A = this chain, B = another copy of it.
Amino acid sequence: MKLNILYSFLNTDLQIIEKELEATIHAESPVLRQASLHLLQSGGKRIRPVFVLLAAKFGQYDIHVVKNAAIALELIHMASLVHDDVIDDSDLRRGAPTIKSKWDNRVAMYTGDYIFARSLEVMSEIKNPLAHQLLAHAIIEVCKGEIEQIKDKYDFGQNLRTYLKRIRRKTALLIASSCQLGAIAAGVEEHVHKQLFRFGYYVGMTYQITDDILDFTGTEKELGKPAGGDLRQGNITLPVLIAMEDPRIMALVGSVHENISKDELTDIIDTINASGAIEKASEMGDAYLKKAFAILETLPPNRAKNTFSEIAKFIGKRKF
């Protein structure tokens, strides 16, 4: 089953968003236009727009208002991906060459800036000051997370708390903000949009933990990039942290460096996969999902609530 079957009733509105995303990043500059379109067309799940729309269904849903929050959040996400690829020195994303590999780091930096600026233009259509404050706060946290991520690279002494704080800033906050901003754009009352934020937050944590697990268990075809890429780049994720509780694995993992051979990396991945760390990491992902479901229970019943529930279940089980 594919994720998008769960929200096919949003298809008309998602197509509006897709068209406007493309129109928004259209630039006279050929490099900028090609680089931005390249990223947009390489796909992505559009999880943030979907969450914006679903959360807006808890209020006065008007696609011509809420679309702005959806487009802005997807653009911010895209901008952060472009800058992330510079930091991670990644050549592939979603199976396609990254902007920094197809052009260079300088083009990637300014393409990210440009897409980010475009998101502000779209956001300026939303008149609610609270929406702007919340979004600015989320973006600040994303930036802090990205700086921390540089610092934490190849730091094999980091603990679980560092990891959780990092994925909170890297992923969970923007998904949480997608829910909250969609709700605010639809005039949802405060206690409900705050609950939607929490729901998005917990789902986002599970989403990233699953992503980090898949980097070990997925195939190159499923991932659109070689497995074990996180570890090679020095990103210490949950499966590694758990596996390193065993001092022998700790010693093995501690030897990882940027230019490790494919065979050596495969050996380490196999060791981590065989250590039971994947199962424990998965349990932690499930624990966050359980919290998400508990929040969902408190929300008024409607179709979007059911869809949120289905999506959360899917994310808990997703294999790619």
Q: Are A114 and B32 in contact (CB under 8 A)?
A: no
**Distance of A27 Cα from B105 Cα, bound (Å):** 26
Chain B residue with the shortest CB-CB distance to A113: B143
CB distance from A128 to the nearest CB of B (A): 10
Residues of B within 8 A of A148 (CB): 29
Q: Are B110 and A146 in contact (CB under 8 A)?
A: yes
The A contact surface, by secondary structure, is: helix
From B27, B106, B143, B144, contact of A150 by CB (8 A): B106
How often does this chain occur in the complex, in copies?
A: 2
Residues of B within 8 A of A124 (CB): 129, 132-133, 135-136
Residues of B within 8 A of A105 (CB): 86, 105
Flag A109-153 by CB within 8 Å of B: 1 or 0 each. 111111011101101100101001101110110111011101100
In the complex, the 9 A-B pairs of residues with the closest C-beta atoms, listed nearest first? A124-B132, A121-B136, A114-B143, A120-B136, A117-B139, A117-B140, A124-B133, A113-B143, A110-B147
Q: Provide 16 A-B residue pairs closer than 8 Å at the C-beta atoms, listed in order of the A residue.
A: A27-B144, A29-B144, A29-B147, A29-B148, A31-B150, A31-B151, A86-B105, A106-B150, A107-B150, A114-B147, A116-B116, A117-B139, A117-B142, A118-B140, A120-B120, A121-B137
